[in-house]
Chains A and B, each alone.
Chain A
Amino acid sequence: MKTEVKHDKNSTIVVVSGTVDALTAPELATVLAEQVADGHVNLIVNLVAVEFMSSAGLRTLLGAVKDSRSHGGDLRIASTNPGIEKVLKMSGFHTIAKVFASQDEAISSFGS
């Protein structure tokens, strides 16, 4: 798994690639927690280049949604992989956080 952090005007984008499983999810959790701790509370997690994500990744995202919201921000997702979409839907994640079909749409949702 690789992560890349980019700061936009109103949000911070964490671009994730590779696989998010029980081995790699803690690394993603650290990256997201660091952003919130640094005051970047409006987060976009771009999962477009993620090939596989298990419940360990989902747990990380749920934790980061709670963390960002408790600091006055929000976490939104960009995802196109049907397998990951299914994981998000099975867990009811769609009812908790916003999921967009592209990074640009997620960025726009935080306002321009």
Chain B
Amino acid sequence: MTSTHRITRAAHLESLNDFREFIKKQCARVPDINEEFLYDVQLAVDEACTNIMTHGYADLNPGSIILDLEIDPDELTVTLTDFGHSFEPSHTPIPDVDAPIEERALGGFGLFFILQSVDAMDYRVTEDGNKMILTKYLRKQLKENNEDRSET
């Protein structure tokens, strides 16, 4: 069975907590979602929303972010829709996490963390807004949970 949920908030940093709490509340209904899975989804959503708030709506009137969450037995999917500036994910530099501190830029981790935290990321510019689709597989996590249990 698939469940779908939606939250819409103003695209300012004060909304970040609402988006994270929404994810937490909906995931709490799914007994097999563990803390690590939840943190990964919250992190990906937080980073994506922060990018929209600080870059997507830069120089524009404050807009909104629509978060659609879909949970089915196989995967969790978050679709974030905004109406600001779009961006090209493949043009975003990946930070060098092995560089010594002297050579490190402080920022630039947002998209990198998103890609590390979910199994798939898709970005589309549509007539209905910019859509970032984040997918994380539940089956994989269930398998890992079962392996953990069998080890103990």
Contact = CB atoms under 8 A, between A and B. Distances in A.
B39 A52 contact: yes
A52 B14 CA distance: 15
Given A21-B17, A56-B50, A87 B98 contact: no
Nearest to B109: A55
Q: Kindly name the residue among A52, A54, A65, A95 whose own CB sees the greatest number of chain B CB atoms within 10 A.
A: A54
Interface string A88-107: 00111001100000000000
What DSSP secondary structure best describes chain A's contact surface? Answer: helix
B107 A55 contact: yes
Contacts of A58: 109
B101 A62 contact: yes
Q: Is the interface of B mostly helix, strand, loop or mixed?
A: helix
Interface residues of A, number: 24
A63 B106 contact: yes
Interface in A67-83: 69, 82-83
A66 interface: yes
Interface residues of B, number: 30
A66 B101 CA distance: 7
B116 A23 contact: no
Contacts of A62: 101, 104, 106
A12 B39 CA distance: 29
Contact of A23 (B13, B40, B100, B104): B13
B1 interface: no
A86 interface: yes
Nearest to B13: A23
Q: State the 8 A-B residue pairs at the shortest beta-carbon distance, nearest first.
A: A83-B39, A92-B97, A55-B109, A23-B13, A22-B50, A59-B106, A54-B46, A96-B101
